[in-house]
A and B are shown apart, each in its own frame.
Chain A
């Protein structure tokens, strides 16, 4: 009892863009529970869904500036922050299953990337096993093959790798804030968007675009990160609790994401969305169509030589 009183309570904020009805947010609730329980109340956790504390960029910058905030970031993001090689996880059709990318996440290569993040960006990665979702494409007009995508304006997040990979398929990548997407889609300013199904359903885009292509161009494995200043203020034990609970909640997240994706798919079909499956052979075709992304990729994105081959060999191991 006496010890409890001496304890300094550490406030942690977990901030993300997803809404509370999405599986990721529910997994965060679980994580909060675990953190508070395992730390015996040393950690006090608050969740900030729906970009309440700002956009993803804003929150990352807050973390770097020393705020005790933990947020989501993926490979494309770290690539923008200067850890160029990390961007390879956003190469289209490079990964064909969660197993592929998880294998990479367990490799020494990944370990090295995390180290680079720590050295170069002022951020520390605390967890890497969360499935954000499989990124698919929702369009206003039917898309079956790469040639259908030619000239279509597809909304992508404002980052170089996703812009390039959509452009490589012959479409016209249109970065746009998510808030504008519903109206733009409704009125035909854009022809489609790409995102995990759960995010699509939460944003209600199925009301204004009726064709879903399950092309799985990216298996979006996301990481949680926090600022160095905050991380270094923790004791070794606290750091351990942070990473362990993150992983545990991640396992829970991956379970419910899978269920939620199935549910969302059902819901979309109920609302009149035509779902187009993409077979493995067709995926080969899509990968081939995105060839121009891979051409000179090492130079364009500042990757180390033969990065694609390195990653492919890790997956095949």
Chain B
């Protein structure tokens, strides 16, 4: 189960990493072909713009896993522990709702792109394909956010504030004082 979970967890990140490697390579090789050989790739821009979508959205969930997504915790910090718990749940619901809508509408958009078989000019890559990572990523980010929230709630229970999260809550002293 755990093993399976791991593969499931890594596959999107790996797609994103591979897309990044390809992006770096074709851009660099593109320079060589244009400057040294004088034969620029006419398809370069198209592929670059396709890859960036894949990099960003396939990496979106992993960014949650590593706490790379920024949030402003100014007001959150002022809440007592109980309030924080409630707020965490509300935020998780907001995140879920927003991602669900974006997921739904991006599927809609992909459908339209396929319906009229719209594709890029030079390589004829279907535009719908470019956007496939968006709905998938939305669902994965949703799941990951709940995992994060669960962890945070646990941490709040344990009352070990310094463990909370690297990018959140530096005000350990204040919180401990409140608890005492």
Contacts and interface: CB of A to CB of B under 8 A. Distances in A.
Interface in B90-109: 109
Contact of B38 (A80, A120, A122, A153): A153
A102 B101 CA distance: 47
A35 to B, nearest CB: 27
22 contacts: A61-B112, A61-B118, A65-B112, A80-B120, A121-B116, A153-B34, A158-B42, A158-B45, A159-B121, A160-B121, A160-B122, A163-B122, A172-B34, A172-B38, A172-B40, A173-B40, A174-B40, A175-B42, A175-B44, A175-B46, A175-B122, A189-B34
Contacts of B113: 61
Contact of B40 (A76, A120, A153, A159): A153
Contacts, number: 55
A305 interface: no
Interface in B62-121: 109, 112-113, 115-121
Interface string A109-122: 00000000000111
A81 interface: yes
Interface in B31-47: 34, 38-40, 42, 44-46
A76 B42 CA distance: 16
B136 interface: no
Interface of A: 61, 64-65, 76, 80-82, 120-122, 151, 153, 158-160, 163, 167, 172-177, 189
Contacts of B39: 172
Interface string B114-155: 011111111000010000000000000000000000000000
A158 B117 CA distance: 18
A80 B38 CA distance: 27
Given A122-B116, A173-B40, A65 B122 contact: no
Interface in B43-62: 44-46
A122 B113 CA distance: 11
B118 A81 contact: yes
Nearest to A81: B118
A176 B45 contact: yes
Given A61-B118, A61-B127, A82-B117, A163 B38 contact: no
Contacts of A153: 34, 38, 40
Interface in B4-43: 34, 38-40, 42
A119 to B, nearest CB: 11
A267 B109 CA distance: 45
Interchain residue pairs A-B with the least CB separation, the first 8: A159-B121, A163-B42, A174-B40, A80-B121, A122-B116, A160-B122, A151-B38, A175-B45
B45 A65 contact: no
A155 to B, nearest CB: 10
Given A160-B121, A163-B122, 9 more contacts: A61-B113, A65-B112, A121-B116, A158-B120, A160-B122, A167-B42, A175-B42, A175-B44, A175-B46
